[in-house]
Chains A and B, each alone.
Chain A
Amino acid sequence: MLTGLTDLLLSGFIAINYAQLFHVDPNDFGPTVIARMTDTDPDAPNAYHLLQPTMNCNGKRGVVCIQRQGTLTVFLGGKRIHTSSINERGPNQKYPSLGVGCVQKTKVLSVSRKRSDILNDFVCFPILETYSKESGR
Chain B
Amino acid sequence: MLTPKRLAARTYPGIQELHSNLKKLTDSLSRPRMSHPAELRSFSGRFRQALRTRSFDDVSTVVERLLAQEDELSADARIALHTTLGNAHHFVAVILPLFYEEKTLLLLCDSKQQIDLAYSEYGRLLSTCSSYPQLKVLWNQLREQKTLFRTIAQRIIDKKFWKTAIIHRVSDNEDESMSRKRAVFNPTNPSNYPEEQFYKMYSETSYVVDSTTNQVEYHVFVSVDCPSTDDELRDLLADRDGDKFIDENWFRGAHVLNLHCIHQLKDWMEEVTPALLKSISSCRHIRRSGQREDRQVAKDERSAMIATGVLVDQNGYLRPPHNTGSMDEDSRFDLLQANEHILDGVIYVETSFPFCEANIRLQGRSFHGCFDSGRLKESTTTVLHLVCSNFPFRITTDAICSQD
Residues of A within 8 A of B (CB): 1-23, 27, 29-31, 33, 35, 37-38, 46-47, 49, 51, 53-58, 60-66, 68-76, 80-81, 83-88, 90-91, 96, 98, 100-102, 104-113, 115-116, 118-136
Contact = CB atoms under 8 A, between A and B. Distances in A.
B342 interface: yes
| Contact residues on B (Cβ < 8 Å of other chain), bracket | 35 or more
A68 B398 CA distance: 39
A75 B269 CA distance: 22
Given A11-B307, A86-B182, A100-B343, A4 B266 contact: no
Interface string B124-148: 0000000000000000001001100
A30 B367 contact: yes
Contact of A55 (B8, B172, B308, B353): B172
Nearest to A74: B254
Listed residue (A53, A105, A131) with the most chain B CB atoms within 10 angstroms of its CB: A131
Contacts of A61: 205-206
A118 B179 contact: no
Given A20-B292, A110-B382, A111-B403, A81 B176 contact: yes
Nearest to A87: B301
Contacts of A69: 260, 266, 269
B89 A7 contact: yes
B122 interface: no
A61 B149 CA distance: 38
Nearest to A68: B257
Contacts of A81: 176, 178-179
A130 B389 CA distance: 10
Given A61-B205, A73-B254, A4 B87 contact: yes
